[in-house]
Amino acid sequence: MRINYDAIATTFDRRYRDEQYAGVEEALAGFAGDGTAGRVLEVGCGTGHWLRFLNERHRRAYGLDPSAHMLAFARAHVPASCLIRGRAEQLPYRAGTFERLFFINAFHHVEDQAAAVAESRRVLAPGGRLMTVGLDPHVGSDRWWIYEYFEPVLQLDKQRYPAGTAIRTWMMAAGFIDCATHEVQHQPGRMDARTALADGRLDRAVTSQLGILSDVQYQKGLARIRGAMNAADDRGETLYLTADLRRYATFGTVPY
């Protein structure tokens, strides 16, 4: 279920053009605060989208990612940021280096998530805070055309994405206090299936949910969509691909 992010670095930022993340932006801005909140680290920074978001608000942050190609794009986007190649389970920083550390839509890619939480605790100073943002398919309220037409994806996402309860358990085991999970963004959406196909919005590089599928699984899903689209055409209707997703932020604080 691994994604080769070196291979898709050139197209990765398309998601920020196609989707709106106002709720995530608000959560990050509040979490990072102003310069008085101290040093900030994004783990899984990718091409630097969220680092650039903070820079535009006069908040400099550090970034870490395991993909060299993603970091090359991040350096072009946010040349003032300090970027390092590394993994969440073994952060290359001294204890107590940061006051804020966050993962946005990245924590599900971490192989040992409990170890990553413990490492986050190590590099955070007393009073420091951790935030993870991502989907939680365990809640059971999400509806998504990807889950509907690409049958293995929902079960795979339940393996990749930890429930908020699991993240809080790892946080408390690592020594965090005041652990809590909140919904930060509701993302309903609808798009014409034929237009989406033509515009490349069903390409495998668009989202990791499609990227983790085998070629056979991906092609079967596309065939289901085309079949439903043709059936809609026969009825004189338009097939729309719909989504109703929620993103959750989980927080923990290092005690003084």
Nearest to 13 by CA among 164, 246, 205: 205
**Count of all residues that appear for the chain in the document:** 256
Give the distance, in angstroms, between the CA of residue 226 and the centroid of all CA atoms in the same chain. 28
Give the distance, in angstroms, between the CA of residue 1 and the centroid of all CA atoms in the same chain. 15
pLDDT digit string (tens) for the chain, length 256 residues = 566 765 655 667 677 777 889 999 999 999 999 877 899 999 999 999 999 999 998 898 999 999 999 999 899 888 878 999 999 999 999 999 999 999 999 999 999 999 999 999 999 999 999 999 999 999 999 999 999 999 999 999 999 999 999 999 999 999 999 999 999 999 999 999 999 999 999 998 888 899 899 999 999 999 999 999 999 999 999 999 999 999 999 999 999 9
Under 8 Å CB-to-CB from 230, ≥6 apart: which residues?
none
CA distance 86 to 65: 6
Residue 23's CATH number: 3.40.50.150
List, as own/partner pairs, every contact residues 176-179 make where C-beta atoms lie below 8 angstroms and the sequence separation is at least 24, other chains included.
176/117, 176/121, 176/130, 176/252, 176/253, 176/254, 177/252, 177/253, 177/254, 177/255, 178/251, 178/252, 178/253, 179/250, 179/251, 179/252, 179/253
Under 8 Å CB-to-CB from 101, ≥6 apart: which residues?
40, 41, 42, 43, 120, 123, 124, 128, 129, 130, 131
Q: Note whether 99 and 125 are within 8 A (CB).
A: yes
pTM, two decimal places: 0.93
CA distance 179 to 137: 20
What pLDDT is attached to residue 77?
86
Strands (E), the chain: 40-43, 62-65, 83-85, 98-104, 124-135, 143-144, 177-192, 240-253
Nearest 10 degrees: Cα torsion 69, 42, 115, 118: 160
Structural domain span for residue 240: 5-253
What pLDDT is attached to residue 1?
59
CA distance 116 to 88: 5
User: Tokens 């955070």 map to which residue?
Assistant: 124
Domain count, the chain: 1
What pLDDT is attached to residue 132?
98
Q: Which residues pair with 242 in a beta bridge?
A: 190
The one-letter code for the residue type at 30 is G
What pLDDT is attached to residue 116?
98
CA distance 85 to 66: 5
